[in-house]
Structure 1
Amino acid sequence: MDTAPSIGRTPDDRLPDQPGADGPDARTVGPEAPADPPGAADPEHVRREVVSTAIRSQRSTRDIVLSLVVLLVPIALLIGFGRVFLGADTPTEIDPAPTVQLARAANVFPVSEATGLGDGWRTVSADFRRGDTGATLRIGYLSPDDDGLQLVQSNVPAEELIPAELTRAGQPQGTVEIAGRGWQRYTARAGELALVLLEPGRTVIVVGQAPEEDLRHLAASLT
């Protein structure tokens, strides 16, 4: 029996999905590199933007500093001019007479005045007030050395007045005689001394950051 001759296949006759077919074998080819996502930024462009932003920030800070300097320099000059030429730091001297008259008109306690203090002494404040437990007259002075002192006269009970004026740490330190009257020396706030005169219906306090001789001089001037 005759058999039909076999027809051979060449490599080109193999199907594309068989190994060795034309085109790459999917099992042997690596994954393709991912494409840049849409809208991806250029690194060089990003770097330029960062540098530009930093420069703008530095310029803004510098502009703010320069603006403040321009504003503050004239203010500093005005303050210096006021202190040097106009005496802006010098307390204003006042006349305490109207306040003393007001306290005397209230007729709640005897009112004394400082007289004959001498050159360089200045009256810088005066205040008279009524409270629930009494009335108080306060007059502030500057000594020739610019030390501050205050004269306090009040009918507020001494046990209430003294702690209020000298703090609760104020303690008596003995008695001194000034112009024929016995005053008690007291401690007061840090750096302060006080002289206290206790009388029926009135307490007088001389207190300040000043040498004791200045306190005694003010106390002796009261009439």
Structure 2
Amino acid sequence: MSEKPGRYQRSTSGLIGAMVVTLLAVGLFWTVRSLSRTEVEVEREPVDFAASAEAARGAGFDVVAPATLPEGWMATAIDLTQTDPPEWGMGVLTAEGKFVGLRQEDRPVDDLVEANVDEDAVEGEPLSLDSAVGDTWQTWIDEGGDTGYSIEYADQTVLVYGSAPPEDLQQFITLLER
């Protein structure tokens, strides 16, 4: 027998047909998933920032933190890194769901601003506030609407920043305690 093994015929129209069938199947799957999916709303759980701050202070780290938060505000994250020197931070949501962050680290202010506000943040006018941490805070603004305020405190940099309105950030600063 001189027959060659069986081979199927390849053609451009067959390839295009296979691609159309595949795209239709993917489109059908996507449509079914879109119609059957409901929006999942994840609620944040509050964290006990006051206990964390006290524990850090008990370990000898001079952290700054508010004693309490305004009505409707919620602390959602605490970050205490036990390096030498330690680093402290917390995240808060305002009653309107806007973010307020706090970082206290032994790093230059430019590094903290670049990492937390924006790498292209612009230095603004100094801000005078009555705060236990200090009275003159440096303002930082980015094009995306984030704002930050920094101050040197106990050989460290404290940065309050976020997407919350500047008035909320300033209110947070006035609540900070040593």
Question: Which secondary structure state, in structure 2, belongs to the residue aligned with residue 141 of structure 1?
Answer: strand
Q: Matches of residues 204-219 of structure 1 in structure 2 within 5 Å?
A: 204-219=158-173
Give yes or no for the alignment of 1:164 onto 2:111. yes
Moved over 6 A (4+): none
Give yes or no for the alignment of 1:57 onto 2:18. no
Query: Percent of aligned pairs with the same residue?
Result: 17
Q: How far is 1:139 from its partner?
A: 0.6
Q: Matches of residues 159-198 of structure 1 in structure 2 within 5 Å?
A: 160-167=107-114, 171=123, 173-179=125-131, 181-190=134-143, 191-198=145-152
Q: How many Å separate the matches in 2 of 1:99 and 1:66?
A: 54
Q: How many Å separate the matches in 2 of 1:93 and 1:183?
A: 33
Q: How many Å separate the matches in 1 of 2:16 and 2:130?
A: 70
Q: Matches of residues 115-134 of structure 1 in structure 2 within 5 Å?
A: 115-119=68-72, 121-132=73-84, 134=85
Q: How many Å separate the matches in 2 of 1:56 and 1:164?
A: 58
Question: Which secondary structure state, in structure 2, belongs to the residue aligned with residue 57 of structure 1?
Answer: helix
Kindly provide the CA deviation profile for residues 56-92 of structure 1, in whole angstroms up to 9, marking residues without a partner as x: 22321121012212332343345x41x2xx304x5x2
- The alignment covers a number of residue pairs equal to 161
Q: How many Å separate the matches in 2 of 1:102 and 1:189?
A: 34
Question: Which structure's CA Rg is the greater one?
Answer: 1
Give the superposed CA RMSD: 2.9
Question: Which secondary structure state, in structure 1, belongs to the residue aligned with residue 135 of structure 2?
Answer: strand
Letter in 2 for 1:195: Y
TM-score normalized with structure 2 length: 0.72
Q: How many Å separate the matches in 1 of 2:126 and 2:149?
A: 10
Give yes or no for the alignment of 1:107 onto 2:65. no
Q: How many Å separate the matches in 2 of 1:64 and 1:164?
A: 49
Q: Matches of residues 84-95 of structure 1 in structure 2 within 5 Å?
A: 86-88=40-42, 92-95=44-47
Q: How far is 1:187 from its partner?
A: 1.4
Question: Which secondary structure state, in structure 1, belongs to the residue aligned with residue 33 of structure 2?
Answer: helix
Give yes or no for the alignment of 1:141 onto 2:92. yes
Out of 153, 162, 167, which is 1:199 matched to? Answer: 153
Query: Larger % of strand: which?
Result: 2
Q: How many Å separate the matches in 2 of 1:101 and 1:200?
A: 17
List alignment gaps of at least 5 residues for structure 1: 1-48
Higher relative contact order (CA 8 A, sep 6+): 2
Q: Which residue of 2 aligns with 1:153?
A: 104
Q: How far is 1:171 from its partner?
A: 3.2
Kindly provide the CA deviation profile for residues 77-113 of structure 1, in whole angstroms up to 9, marking residues without a partner as x: 45x41x2xx304x5x2331436434423431224423
Letter in 2 for 1:186: T
TM-score normalized with structure 1 length: 0.59
List alignment gaps of at least 5 residues for structure 2: 1-8
